[in-house]
Amino acid sequence: MRRALALLTAIALAGCSGPSGPPSTDTSSDDLPSLERRIEFLDRYVTFRRGYCDLSFHIAYRNNGGGLVPGPSEWDIRLVAAVPAAELAAWVPPDLAPTPSADMQWLVGVPGDGHADGIREWYTSPGLVVGIDRERSVVAYRRWAR
């Protein structure tokens, strides 16, 4: 009986040991040599798929899905990107009204943060900030959960 219980416990723990979702990371786009590699890396940590002409980011993601007691993952995804003008509308969060300014301190540490200087259209909600510069087709994006 003890052996059967030990075997069942081992099987149950083995099933819970692998984290679900992408691996934990603290990565800057400066660590990736090409736009293609940057897009490939970003796509592991976001659910949307977009086109990019240029992409800079800092992704801090902690996968808390493994172990005996899995917990929710934590993330802070920050990016500044030049995007095709035709795709700007896809960045506008539904049901949010634009504001002319937002706290931009979160851009510090994001490579290419200077490209966001001209943004005058901001959308904010808890855990989300999106800025759009329609003239230059530049987007600043932050999504976080802690």
Of 142, 112, 28, 18, residue with least CA distance to 68: 18
Q: Encode pLDDT of 32-81 as tens digits.
A: 999 999 999 999 999 999 999 999 999 999 999 877 778 888 999 999 99
Predicted confidence band of residue 3 (pLDDT cuts 50, 70, 90): low
Q: Please say whether the dihedral angle defined by the alpha carbons of residues 117, 133, 138 and 44, taken in this order, is positive or negative.
A: positive
Predicted confidence band of residue 9 (pLDDT cuts 50, 70, 90): very low
How far apart are the two ends of the chain, measured CA to CA in Å?
Answer: 43
In angstroms, the CA 47 to CA 45 distance is: 7
Q: Encode pLDDT of 106-117 as tens digits.
A: 999 999 999 999
- pLDDT at site 18: 54
Predicted confidence band of residue 19 (pLDDT cuts 50, 70, 90): low
pTM of structure: 0.84
Of 100, 110, 115, 118, residue with least CA distance to 76: 110
- pLDDT at site 80: 98
Domain ranges within the chain, ordered by starting residue: 2-145
Q: Encode pLDDT of 76-103 as tens digits.
A: 999 999 999 999 999 999 999 999 989 9
- pLDDT at site 32: 97
29: left (phi over 0), alpha (psi -120 to 50) or beta: alpha
- pLDDT at site 1: 56
- pLDDT at site 7: 37
**Whole-number percent of the chain with pLDDT over 90:** 77
- pLDDT at site 122: 98
